Copies of this chain bind each other. A is one copy, B any other.
């Protein structure tokens, strides 16, 4: 199990991410797509990775916008795993 990050570590980590914002125990990002079904395709890739890592973000699809919200429930807050997955999600988005 990953260790929970300190407030200082979280601040540094979020500053290094692109477009992610801290919201309580979560980090959140909104991704925009040209078409609704492109957003759904993105969600499928995120879902496959989530299942592989056994770490599932909250996913919201609002027409052409997909919002991802990450935290580590078992650690009671954000961990390195959340930060690593946020970067992985961004890479998936950039490839689409």
Q: Are B56 and A59 in contact (CB under 8 A)?
A: no
The digit string for A36-62, where 1 denotes a CB below 8 A from any CB of B, is 110010011001001100001011111
Residues on B with beta carbons closer than 8 Å to the beta carbon of A58: 60-62
Give A25 Cβ to nearest chain B Cβ, in Å. 15
What is the count of identical protomers in the complex? 2
User: What is the number of residues of chain A that contact chain B, defined by CB distance less than 8 Å?
Assistant: 15
- Subset of 11 A-B contacts with CB under 8 Å: A36-B47, A36-B56, A40-B43, A43-B43, A43-B61, A44-B44, A47-B61, A58-B60, A59-B61, A60-B60, A61-B61
Residues of chain A at the chain B interface (Cβ within 8 Å): 36-37, 40, 43-44, 47, 50-51, 56, 58-63
